[in-house]
Amino acid sequence: MAMDKTGDAIVLNRILESAVQAPFNKKLDIKIVKVQRGSVELELDTNPDLANGIGIVHGGVTASLCDSAMGFAVMTLGFFPLTVEMKLNYLLPGRIGDRLIAKGKIIKEGKSLMIVEGEIYSGEKLIVKGIGTYLAQKPKKEIE
């Protein structure tokens, strides 16, 4: 597991655990696969409940997964992220039944704003490419 700026892996683990246990992330069943300082890898197994009207993974699901990956990357620095903006390019459809892998990586670590890239893969295929800006807030005292 990565450490925050203070080197406290316990605080970081609590931050990430609270994020993955958030009601919406639990509803999607997002799981943390890998964590390093400034980057994360998440996975989501798709199912028919996540389909749009034409039977592929709804774009809102992949947008949420990409936002989570980018936000979790900010968390690896010991901050809570607030999404300021994000842009996504949908390159290929996500297919129901596929396992999606989302990768978030810090591109620019500022004092209060972080620029983060996100990618979602289905197997070896890149299906979504994103970039986002996040306001980095210090953790609440009860998490520390």
Q: Which domains does the chain have, with CATH numbers?
A: 9-137 (3.10.129.10)
| pLDDT, position 98 | 96
Helix (H) or strand (E) segment spanning residue 22: none
Cα–Cα distance between 32 and 133 in angstroms, integer? 21
pLDDT band at 7 (very low <50, low <70, confident <90, very high): low
| pLDDT, position 115 | 98
| pLDDT, position 49 | 95
Higher pLDDT, 127 or 27: 127
Classify 46 as helix, strand or coil: coil
pLDDT tens-digit readout, 56-107: 999 999 999 999 999 999 999 988 899 999 999 999 999 999 999 999 999 9
pLDDT tens-digit readout, 33-55: 999 999 999 999 999 999 999 99
